[in-house]
Amino acid sequence: MWNGLIGAIGSAVILAAATAGPGVGMAAAQSGPTYEVRRPPQSSPPPIEVIPEEVAFGDVMPESHSTMAVTLVNTGPDPLKITDIRTSCNCTTTDLPTRLLMPNEPVTMQASLAADKFMGKMRRNIVIFCEGYAQPRQIYVTCWVNYGVRTIVRYEPEGQYRIGEMSLEAVDGEPFTVLAANGERPVFADGFDPARDDPRAAYTLKVDLSGIAESDLPKWYLVETDHRTAPVIDVRVMGVEQERTRRPWQVSHERVLLWRLAPGASEDVTLTLQNLLGSPLDVIEDISCDNPDVEVELLGMMVAAEGTKVRLRVTPSSDLRGLVQARVSITARKHTETFDMFGQVTPVRE
């Protein structure tokens, strides 16, 4: 009789206890012992080649949806079992037809991105976990959110949000004109002189809010242009604190763009009143606008899974020209929420 237990630390090879009669060899005891191989996870990511290496959607409109086919190739000698796929936020989703990647067999994964409401560069992650690997394989998903003019604000010195520069670049490379910045004549930091120079496809503007009291800082820095798809560029002013109160519902958008309107023309917009407490909203008590030259009319409402959808008609005065700016208040269940609206009224060219 013999009993044995052999453990190999590191490779974790275990031979369970075995019993055999006198003169019986190991081959005769194969039905008794149980062999188990436990290897520690490899410290490197799984051998997955991603084509393209980065899911780059380029320039996209706010709140647009983009999808790209990505090829995954297992470059290792053994099959790879995908145990989990995670994304850094709900705005990024994936669709993979199989969780088993065979060696050198390409598999197509659909990667989708819902663009943010605000302008700027978005960078998100897709993380693929595989059995036997401690580190995941990461895939970066990127895009530039803009209205056709890529906008970047740099503050100098760093750590403050009052003084800096704003670069504007037309995605299509077509020249355009900057009409105003924060309600005033734009100040160019790149030597451009609109009285002397022809319009460009790119500009650098000076941003200076140092002379404005903190309590009077605007929520949005607005740039007006004659660009075909970017009549108003709204940049969130950093450092302006948001009101943080417990609320039963909220508006899905902080601001709504009316784009470019003809004098007296109307624009219909749809918002969602997202319910946070209780049942969905079914009655709106009041809608008001702080700009007397802008009329806001409720066209209808509908309860949906994501909240109560509200359709509004916005009509600027026929005498209004240039920038349209207004704050709209909606009251329901004795609670009021506000959002901003921007647009540009331009006479129709004959």
Residues 136 and 157 in one domain: no
- Choosing from 99, 123, 145, the residue where a domain stops is 145
Q: Which residue has the higher pLDDT, 195 or 7?
A: 195
Which range (59-68, 127-136, 232-241, 313-322) has the least confidence? 232-241
Note the pLDDT tens digit of each residue in 79-136. Answer: 999 999 999 988 999 999 999 999 999 999 999 999 998 888 999 999 999 999 999 9
Place of tokens 């709504």: 256
Q: Round the average pLDDT of the chain to a whole number and report it.
A: 87
Is 264 domain-assigned? yes
CATH code of the domain in which 272 resides: 2.60.40.10
Distance CA 121, CA 51 (A): 22
pLDDT for residue 15 is more than 60: no
Q: Which residue has the higher pLDDT, 349 or 296?
A: 296
Rounded to whole angstroms, the maximal C-alpha distance in the chain is: 109
Q: Which two tokens stand for residue 123?
A: 């960078």
How many helical (H) and strand (E) elements, i.e. helices and strands, does the chain have?
Answer: 0, 26
Q: Read out DSSP for 288-318? A: EES-TTEEEEEEEEEEETTEEEEEEEEEE-T
pLDDT for residue 22 is more than 50: no
Q: How far is CA 125 from CA 73, 90, 93, 203, 246, in A?
A: 18, 11, 10, 32, 32
pLDDT for residue 348 is more than 60: yes
Model's pTM, two decimal places?
0.79
Is 241 domain-assigned? no
**In this predicted structure, what is the pLDDT of residue 1?**
37
The neighbouring-strand residues paired with 330 are 287, 337
Residues 138 and 160 in one domain: no
Phi, psi for residue 224 in degrees, rounded to 5: -100, 135
pLDDT for residue 205 is more than 90: yes
pLDDT for residue 20 is more than 60: no
The domain of 322 spans: 249-345
Residues 59 and 98 in one domain: yes
Amino acid type, 326? A
Residues 90 and 136 in one domain: yes
Chain centre to alpha carbon of residue 151: 16
Residues 207 and 272 in one domain: no
Is 341 domain-assigned? yes
Residues 54 and 124 in one domain: yes
- Choosing from 145, 169, 190, the residue where a domain stops is 145
Is 223 domain-assigned? yes
Chain centre to alpha carbon of residue 185: 32
Distance CA 129, CA 131 (A): 7
CB 144 within 8 A of CB 150: yes
Is 302 domain-assigned? yes
Q: Which two tokens stand for residue 104?
A: 């050198």
Q: Please state the rounded mean pLDDT for residues 256-281.
A: 90
- Choosing from 129, 145, 161, the residue where a domain stops is 145
Distance CA 304, CA 179 (A): 40
Which range (176-185, 281-290, 339-348) has the least confidence? 339-348
Is 221 domain-assigned? yes
**In this predicted structure, what is the pLDDT of residue 17?**
32
Is 224 domain-assigned? yes
Q: Which residue has the higher pLDDT, 131 or 1?
A: 131
Total number of domains constituting the chain:
4
**In this predicted structure, what is the pLDDT of residue 31?**
63
Chain centre to alpha carbon of residue 324: 27
Residues 293 and 327 in one domain: yes
Residues 200 and 284 in one domain: no
Identify the band that residue 285 occupies on the pLDDT scale cut at 50, 70 and 90. Answer: very high
Is 42 domain-assigned? no
Classify residue 58 as exposed, middle or buried by CB count within 10 Å of its CB (0-12, 13-18, 19+).
exposed
